[in-house]
Amino acid sequence: MIFDHEKAKQNTKRIVFVGKGQKFDFETGKVVDGKGRSHPIYMFVDSKNYYICEVRYGGASANALQRGLWTHTKNAIDYFDSLTNGWIDYSHNHTLVKLFSLALNSSEEGHKTVNEILQKDINRLKKL
């Protein structure tokens, strides 16, 4: 997926600060108190208060992945293009997520065994 930053720049009408414990109400276009953020952000929205992207900040309790420019693909789908033109489906693949989870918590011996299984499957797919 490629983020169209030029389109995002052109369509950004407001940059809204959303503080700790706050959230952005997309219907009213206002920041409201309530169950909200752990760390503050600057949210970029268009003329209809639709989400484009955000810049996240965090103190010592925020890790590096909780800081910087972010966008939620599903909330800003108009700002993304697929390099594969739909060949790759970007919907959730829970099986792949589980595979990564298991791989991160297994031994190198396990990795070697799984690599062999996956390579056999790739070879099978090439023959189709």
Q: What is the mean pLDDT of residues 97-111?
A: 91
Q: What is the pLDDT of residue 52?
A: 96
Cα separation, 122 vs 116, in Å, equals 10
Task: Return the number of other C-beta atoms located less than 10 Å from residue 24's C-beta.
Answer: 20
Cα separation, 91 vs 109, in Å, equals 31
Of 29-38, 47-56, 62-71, give the range with the top mean pLDDT: 47-56
28 residue type, one letter: T
Helix (H, G, I), strand (E, B) or coil at 50: coil
- Closest C-alpha to 36, from 49, 50, 20: 20
Q: Give the lowest-confidence range in 7-16, 19-28, 72-81, 89-98.
A: 89-98
Q: What is the mean pLDDT of residues 13-18?
A: 95
Helix (H, G, I), strand (E, B) or coil at 99: helix
